[in-house]
């Protein structure tokens, strides 16, 4: 059976042969046992409903074994035999170009070069899932191959509810992930309901089919590192950035450090993740001895080298050893997946990777104690460095939140705030999000690197033209992006699909997209798929990250994200998604995303103008109402450009009125 036929068949009528557990693949950790006997029966019934009754007797013991051994039912038997990667769009079966584009993006998320745990359908973060099981994957790909532009596919946490009649301007797919009743949104709730097979943690771009490998955040990470050094008034050359995490998105950190021009040390305990990033060129060197590491870093700093080094071990050891060796750390952070602290997101110092994996599955109570012990030790080591001048920031991965819950010394004197800011509070919020700058990304559906090079050129030309008339307030942001896009090819950022990201405001996004659409209509380039990270101006309500610089008391509300996805859906997005959970944890954030296919048509032009304008300015308006001065400036500028935009502006109150 060829690729197209296998896609079209969906769940095969005849059972495929069982598949062996591939030890060469980076697998998800075993999830802890959380279901009662009665609930385990329910989970098995839920899994078997995807298959004809004649197969239940064969599949039941197999699924029961998966649930016992891995804590989830993945249906490994149904993994396709074909290689999963982002094929050129014309290789997909189907009646709708938009649906084919979505198939391309789904397969990119599950590409072994891209996904963290591909056989468990997890893209990054330890639990950021595209689907819950392989039956869902097969059904959804089959539905997309059958779909017309008069239908919409509805997806409930990985499960395809079905194809419904709609119209050409409706989204082709609407995705929800983990949308729980609020009182059922604690970490153990996720464990339970995910094990039952009724919900999933879609993270951000994992469950919305918009991940583009570590490049997806390397640009934002580069901006963060550059502006971190600007904040401490030091050149990156001869500067040291220490952080941790090389799996999934955090693999962007050493590449960003190289682009910024500093020395980067990034700790990682999973040797497979380190090997992947090293072989892909995302990190330059790997060192597994602390004395060797200290000697290498001292030499690199003295020579003002640009180099990234993976520490093959626990990052806590580095913080402590560098304190002993009196190595000054300029910038410090952490990007381990602490939104998922008890199931593989953070590995405690003093335990090997293998010991941690065994303990988290078989003695989760003890493992939690070890993680919290490690977080306290981790924070103590960081505090010693900040006392000597290190600028430490939380990378929005819930490091400070979980450290505080562990009882670590990271609280400010008022007992309410953390000692250290979120990078959004200090850098990304006031410098980017409030002005409307966020992660605009695109994928060349042809799969042709020449198309990507052409789109880089188009985007650069558009930005340079816009910059001629840009106000002083956003000159630095514009220049950073022009520098970025000019160096994109030489930095070899592509992993998986032929994709690119840069930070742009509404004007930049609309003008770049319009230029793409024009070139597509002229045959200069092929179809382009637009998207963004949820980590953006308006897609996400996250009080410890994206909206951490909202100070009017509304940062714990989620109206903005909900309005964002509703507005995108009727303004022309090709697919939309809304999730509970993201980079800071289940129950800690609501975030929404979109995808949009540009095919060179007038319809595509109409949609991009309507949707991209709303997608950004919804967030600027909310940030403006919170009295963020940069956002007030930005929304006034948008109202001047577009007389049909009328936004409620805040009045500022004199603080002296409240003084006795």
Selection from 121, 347, 114, 339 nearest residue 249 by Cα? 114
Instruction: Report the run of H or E that residue 7 belongs to, with start and end.
Output: helix 3-9
DSSP secondary structure string, 417-447? SBSS-BHIIIIIHHHTGGGT-EEEEEEETT-
Chain centre to alpha carbon of residue 126: 12
Is the separation of the CB atoms in 651 and 604 below 8 Å?
A: no
Q: What is the 3-state secondary structure (H, E, C) of 194-224?
A: HHHCCCCCCCCCCCCCCCCCCHHHHHHHHHH
Selection from 572, 432, 403 nearest residue 508 by Cα? 432
Indicate the burial class of 52 (C-beta count within 10 angstroms; 0-12, 13-18, 19 or more).
exposed
Structure token pair of residue 553: 């008391």
Q: How far apart are CA 485 and CA 392, in angstroms?
A: 28
Distances (CA, A) of 355 to 286, 311, 315: 22, 19, 17
Known binding residue 247? Answer is no
Is the separation of the CB atoms in 631 and 620 below 8 Å?
A: yes
Q: Are strands 331-332 and 240-244 parallel, antiparallel or unpaired?
A: parallel
Longest alpha-carbon distance in the chain: 81
CA neighbours closer than 13 Å in the CB half-sphere of residue 595:
31
Q: Count the neighbouring beta carbons within 10 Å of the beta carbon of residue 165.
A: 9
- Bridge partners (DSSP) of residue 575 are 173, 595
Q: Residues 386-408, buried b or exposed e (16+ Cβ, 10 A)?
A: eeeebbbbbbbbbbbbbbbebeb
Q: Which residues contact 50 (CB under 8 A, 6 or more apart)?
A: 11, 75, 133, 135, 136, 139
The single-letter DSSP state of residue 84 is P
Q: How far apart are CA 234 and CA 236, in angstroms?
A: 6
Known binding residue 609? Answer is no
Known binding residue 203? Answer is yes
Q: Which is it for the CA torsion 56, 60, 63, 67, positive or negative? A: positive
Q: Which residues contact 365 (CB under 8 A, 6 or more apart)?
A: none
Known binding residue 313? Answer is no
Q: Count the neighbouring beta carbons within 10 Å of the beta carbon of residue 326.
A: 9
Q: How far apart are CA 538 and CA 564, in angstroms?
A: 7
Known binding residue 346? Answer is no
Known binding residue 496? Answer is no
Q: Residues 174-205, buried b or exposed e (16+ Cβ, 10 A)?
A: bbbbbebeeeebebebbbbbbbbbbbbbbbbb
CA angle 508, 512, 513 (to 5 degrees): 115
Q: Count the neighbouring beta carbons within 10 Å of the beta carbon of residue 291.
A: 10
Structure token pair of residue 174: 């609407």
Is the separation of the CB atoms in 108 and 89 below 8 Å?
A: no
Q: How far apart are CA 318 and CA 331, in angstroms?
A: 14
Strands (E), 292-361: 307-312, 331-332
Distances (CA, A) of 329 to 229, 232, 313, 318: 12, 12, 18, 11
- Known binding residues are 125-126, 203, 268, 395, 583
- Known binding residues for NAD(+) are 125-126, 203, 268, 395, 583
């Amino acid at each position: 059976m060829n690729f197209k036929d296998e896609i079209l068949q969906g769940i095969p009528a005849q059972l495929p042969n069982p598949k062996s557990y591939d030890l060469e693949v980076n697998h998800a950790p075993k999830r802890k046992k959380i279901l009662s006997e009665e609930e385990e029966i329910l989970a098995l019934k839920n899994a078997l409903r995807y298959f004809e009754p004649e197969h239940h007797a064969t599949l039941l013991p197999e699924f029961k074994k998966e649930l016992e051994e891995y804590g989830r039912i993945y249906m490994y038997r149904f993994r396709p035999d074909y290689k999963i990667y982002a094929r050129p769009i014309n290789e997909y079966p189907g009646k709708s170009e938009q649906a084919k584009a979505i198939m391309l993006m789904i397969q990119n998320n599950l590409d072994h070069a891209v996904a963290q745990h591909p056989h468990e359908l997890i893209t990054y973060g330890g639990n950021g899932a595209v689907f819950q099981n392989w039956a869902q994957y097969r059904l959804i790909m089959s539905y997309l191959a059958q779909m017309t532009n008069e239908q919409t596919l509805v997806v409930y946490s990985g499960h395809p509810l079905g194809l419904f009649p709609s119209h050409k301007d409706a989204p082709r797919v609407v995705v929800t992930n983990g949308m729980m009743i609020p009182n059922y949104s604690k970490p153990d709730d996720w464990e339970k309901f995910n094990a039952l097979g009724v919900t999933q943690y879609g993270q951000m771009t994992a469950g919305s089919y918009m991940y583009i490998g570590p490049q997806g955040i390397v640009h934002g990470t580069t901006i963060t590192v550059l502006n971190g050094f600007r904040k401490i008034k030091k050149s990156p050359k001869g500067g040291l950035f220490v952080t941790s995490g090389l799996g999934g998105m955090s693999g962007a950190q050493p590449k960003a450090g190289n682009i910024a021009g500093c020395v980067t040390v990034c700790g990682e305990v999973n040797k497979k993740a380190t090997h992947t990033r090293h072989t892909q060129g995302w990190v330059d060197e790997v060192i597994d001895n602390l004395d060797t590491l200290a000697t290498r870093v001292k030499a690199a700093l003295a020579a003002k080298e640009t180099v990234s080094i993976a520490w093959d071990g626990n990052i806590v050891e580095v913080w402590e050893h560098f304190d002993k060796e009196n190595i000054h750390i300029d910038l410090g952070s952490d990007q381990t997946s602490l939104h998922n602290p008890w199931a593989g997101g953070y590995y405690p110092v003093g335990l090997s990777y293998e010991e941690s994996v065994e303990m988290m599955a078989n003695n989760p109570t003890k493992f939690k104690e070890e993680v919290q012990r490690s977080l306290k030790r981790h924070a103590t080591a960081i505090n010693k460095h900040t006392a000597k001048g290190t600028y430490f920031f939380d990378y929005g991965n819930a490091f400070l939140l979980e450290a505080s819950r562990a009882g670590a010394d990271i609280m400010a004197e008022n007992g309410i705030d953390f000692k250290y800011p979120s990078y959004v509070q200090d850098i990304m919020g006031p410098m980017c999000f409030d002005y409307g700058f966020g992660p605009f990304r695109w994928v060349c559906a042809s799969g042709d690197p020449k198309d990507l090079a052409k789109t880089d050129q188009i985007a650069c030309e558009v930005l340079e033209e816009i910059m001629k008339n840009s106000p002083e307030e956003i000159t630095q942001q514009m220049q950073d992006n022009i520098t970025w896009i000019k160096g994109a090819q030489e930095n070899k950022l592509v992993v998986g699909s032929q994709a690119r990201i840069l930070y742009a405001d509404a004007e930049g996004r609309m003008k770049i997209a319009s230029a793409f659409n024009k070139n597509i209509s002229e045959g200069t380039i092929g179809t382009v798929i637009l998207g963004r990270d949820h980590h953006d101006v308006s897609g996400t309500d996250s009080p410890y990250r994206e909206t951490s610089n909202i100070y009017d008391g509304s940062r714990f509300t989620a109206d903005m994200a909900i309005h964002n996805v509703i507005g995108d859906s009727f303004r022309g997005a090709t697919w939309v998604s809304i999730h509970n959970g993201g980079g800071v944890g289940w129950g800690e954030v609501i975030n929404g995303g979109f995808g949009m296919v540009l095919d060179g048509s007038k319809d595509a032009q109409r949609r991009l103008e309507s949707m991209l304008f709303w997608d950004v300015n919804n967030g600027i308006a909310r940030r403006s109402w919170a009295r963020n001065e940069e956002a007030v400036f930005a929304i006034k500028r948008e109202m001047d450009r577009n007389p049909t935009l009328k936004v409620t502006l805040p009045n500022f109150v004199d603080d002296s009125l409240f003084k006795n």
